[in-house]
């Protein structure tokens, strides 16, 4: 299948944006920037230009309509900027009105990923149907008074929301329901990720990091990167960190230890029931798993099946796919990519396989063990 041939949907609309001044507002010498009064000239040509300028301003205001504190721009004096002041990180999130994002966005705004000295801008992508809910999300972010959250934008056009994105978290997709396998979602979600790949290729930062969450995430990540030929393929990831976390949980429960004692856990393959959670190379308190857990039958059968089918069991119990634990795993995945991996350890992420050292087929997206020193 030619993955670049998927067409762009026609029903697109622009986003809304504004700057958060809550942190700056608490500074004494901060001044509120006010718009200049319009000037009028008594001539036909001047009046024509004035009308055209007013119409253009109204069109721009409509495209960037915002609300509350996110609309207010404050001017910081040069001496107010601390030595640790960093350039804004732009994070675009699709499916921003959904359950996963409802947990994730507040973690991002609080500094859990980038640290307590890194200001952040959130650009939230929704749909016509979810736009009102998206405004509600922005209102909650507004009411939370996060000092690091400098900007929030909302909209339904990926070409607007992905502009200058440093990170793109692609969550929006038709979710799994009871009895639905991830592969069944390909026809519907493939169109979404082809379009988003084209938008990223057109307007995002040239070094944007992309984490695909919407299922089937390995295939969607491949579709996305194939539609973004001007971006580095190695910057596209399929989220398998949730599977890694689930595997660590099961090993910790069986061994009677806490989760942080489990290391070197690898998920091979797809985020699906075909994945292989690798207990042979994992460690518990620095020792090989098989030295700690003697129950070989449990490791080879129960452990693997439990991890593979954990998501489906949760859907049966919960009536919907996982949300909070997925948000936590996205944060974990982002931190693993931006911070040095502890010596001797690794993490799992689905990456483009061309040039891989494991003999895995080329030109697919496949989860494997990775390390990072700021770049994986």
Q: Measure the CA–CA gap between 182 and 163, rounded to whole angstroms.
A: 29
Q: What SS3 class is residue 268? A: strand
Q: Are the folds of 84-238 and 240-370 the same?
A: no
CB 196 within 8 A of CB 94: yes
Per-residue pLDDT tens listing for the chain (376 residues): 455 444 443 333 345 444 433 333 333 222 222 333 333 333 334 444 554 555 455 444 444 455 456 666 555 555 555 555 689 999 999 999 999 999 999 999 999 999 999 999 999 999 999 999 999 999 999 999 999 999 999 999 999 999 999 999 999 877 665 666 656 677 778 889 999 999 999 999 999 999 999 888 999 999 999 999 999 999 999 999 999 999 999 999 999 999 999 999 999 999 988 999 999 999 999 999 999 999 999 999 999 999 999 988 988 888 888 999 999 999 999 999 999 999 999 999 999 999 999 999 999 999 999 999 977 8
Return the active site residues.
271
Per residue in 139-183, pLDDT tens? 999 999 999 999 999 999 999 999 999 999 999 877 665 666 656
Long-range contacts of 362-366 (CB under 8 A, 24+ apart): 364/218, 364/222, 365/218, 365/219, 365/221, 365/222, 365/225, 365/236, 365/238, 366/218, 366/268, 366/269, 366/270
Q: Measure the CA–CA gap between 144 and 297, rounded to whole angstroms.
A: 49
Could you give phi then psi for residue 251, rounded to 5 degrees? -65, -40
Q: What SS3 class is residue 326? A: helix
The residue behind tokens 């920037």 is 33
Q: Where are the domains of the chain?
A: 84-238, 240-370
Per residue in 178-207, pLDDT tens? 666 656 677 778 889 999 999 999 999 999
Q: Measure the CA–CA gap between 322 and 312, rounded to whole angstroms.
A: 9
The CATH number of domain 84-238 is 3.40.50.720: yes
Residue closest to 235 by CA, chosen among 197, 194, 270, 272? 197
The DSSP output letter for 300 is: I
Residue closest to 170 by CA, chosen among 267, 100, 110? 100
Quick one: CATH architecture of 240-370?
Answer: Alpha-Beta Complex (3.90)
CB 163 within 8 A of CB 121: no
């Amino acid at each position: 299948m030619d993955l670049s041939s998927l067409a762009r949907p026609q029903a697109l609309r622009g986003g809304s944006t504004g700057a958060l001044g809550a942190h700056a507002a608490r500074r004494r010498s901060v001044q509120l920037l006010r718009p200049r009064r319009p000037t009028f000239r008594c001539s036909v040509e001047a009046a024509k230009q004035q009308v055209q300028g007013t119409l253009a301003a109204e069109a721009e205001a409509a495209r960037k309509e915002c609300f509350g504190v996110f609309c207010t721009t404050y001017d910081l004096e040069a001496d107010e900027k601390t030595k640790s002041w960093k350039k804004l990180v732009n994070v675009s999130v699709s499916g921003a009105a959904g359950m996963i994002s409802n947990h994730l966005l507040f973690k991002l705004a609080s500094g859990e990923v980038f640290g307590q000295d890194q200001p952040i801008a959130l650009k939230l992508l929704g749909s016509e149907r979810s736009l009102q809910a998206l405004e509600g999300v922005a209102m909650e972010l507004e009411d939370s008074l996060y000092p690091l959250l400098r900007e929030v934008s909302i909209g339904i056009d990926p070409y607007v929301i992905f502009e200058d994105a440093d990170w793109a978290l692609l969550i929006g997709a038709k979710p799994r329901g009871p009895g639905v396998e991830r592969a069944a979602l390909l026809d519907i979600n493939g169109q979404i990720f082809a379009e988003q790949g084209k938008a990223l290729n057109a307007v995002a930062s040239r070094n944007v990091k992309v984490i695909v969450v919407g299922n089937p995430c390995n295939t969607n990540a491949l579709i996305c990167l194939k539609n973004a030929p001007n971006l580095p393929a190695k910057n596209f990831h399929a989220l398998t960190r949730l599977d890694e976390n689930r595997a660590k949980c099961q090993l910790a429960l069986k061994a009677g230890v806490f989760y942080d004692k489990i290391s070197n856990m690898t998920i091979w393959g797809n985020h699906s029931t075909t994945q292989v959670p690798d207990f042979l190379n994992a460690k518990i308190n620095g020792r090989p798993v098989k030295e700690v857990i003697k129950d070989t039958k449990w490791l080879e059968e129960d452990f693997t099946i439990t991890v593979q089918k954990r998501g489906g069991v949760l859907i049966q119990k919960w009536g919907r796919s996982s949300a909070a634990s997925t948000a936590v795993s996205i944060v974990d995945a982002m931190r693993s990519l931006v911070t040095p991996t502890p010596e001797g350890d690794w993490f799992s992420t689905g990456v483009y396989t061309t040039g891989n050292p494991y003999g895995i087929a080329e030109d697919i997206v496949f989860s494997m063990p990775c390390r990072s020193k700021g770049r994986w």
